[in-house]
Structure 1
Amino acid sequence: MLPPELPPLPALTRAEGDLIDSYLAVVDLLGRINPARPGDTYSGLRAAQALVAKAATLRDALVRMHQRGESELHAETLTRALRVLDGERRAARVAVPIRHGGSPSA
């Protein structure tokens, strides 16, 4: 049985596509660095080192958009693209996990 087909990506400019790709790359790296998640320091270190380059790529995508006169982020369209690319799950790895039961700590 094949997995369900994903909805198509909305039409994006090249710069918007670069923005989405770069943003998700940064989110993925931040998820790997998140100290509230299990992991080892070496993988966190490697992700932090890669974050510098990916953040520059994200900045460059925004610079290109601005230089081309794309002065507005079309949030509805970009949100659809993020959802198609599993952005909600990927971004959830950056958040502090919700506490389940137990007493609150100081």
Structure 2
Amino acid sequence: MLPPELPPLPALTRAEGDLVDRYLDVLDLVGRINPARSSDTYGGLRAAQALVGKAAALRDALALMHERGESSIHAATLARALRVLDGDRRATRVTLPPEGRS
């Protein structure tokens, strides 16, 4: 049986797509670094080392949008894209776990 089909991504410019992708990359790494949710220092160290490059790529995506005159962030549209790409689950790794579940 096939998994349920995901809703389609909203229409994004290439720069907006890069912004969403780079943001999720950073979010995933910060989630791996989160000391309240990790189990070893080595994984956190590796994620922290990779974060430098991913943060630079995120900065570059935003700079490109700005250079192209895309000065507005369409938050509702980008939030839909993040949800389709599992951003809700990925963002929970950045937060503290509920009390008593550590």
1 CA distance for matches of 2:96 and 2:23? 19
Once the two structures are superposed, residues 78-100 of structure 1 have per-residue CA deviations (whole angstroms, 9 ceiling, x without a partner) of 00000000000001100011214
Preserved CA contact (<8 Å) 2:30 2:94:
yes
* Residue matched to 1:63: 63
Equivalent residue letter for 1:42: Y
Between Structure 1 and Structure 2, how many residues are aligned?
A: 101
Bigger mean CA deviation after superposition, 92-101 or 65-74? 92-101
**Correspondence 1:10 to 2:7:** no
Query: Are residue 93 (structure 1) and residue 93 (structure 2) matched?
Result: yes
Superposition RMSD in Å: 1.1
Distance in 2 of aligned mates of 1:52 and 1:39: 22
Provide the rounded CA distance (Å) in 1 between the counterparts of 2:75 and 2:37: 29
Stretches of structure 2 that go unaligned for 5 or more consecutive residues are none
- Percent identity, please: 75
TM-score normalised by length of structure 2: 0.96
Who wins on radius of gyration, i.e. which is larger?
1
The Cα of 1:16 is off from its aligned counterpart by 0.3
Q: Return the TM-score normalized by structure 1.
A: 0.92
C-alpha contact (below 8 Å) 2:38/2:44 kept by paired residues: no
Map Cα deviations across residues 56-92 of structure 1 (whole Å, 9 max, x no partner).
Answer: 0000000000000100100010000000000000011
CA distance in 2, matches of 1:64, 1:37: 34
Q: Which runs of 4+ in 1 moved over 2 A?
A: none
Amino acid of the residue matched to residue 19 of structure 1? Answer: L
Q: Distance in 1 between matches of 2:34 and 2:23?
A: 16
Q: Distance in 2 between matches of 1:12 and 1:71?
A: 14
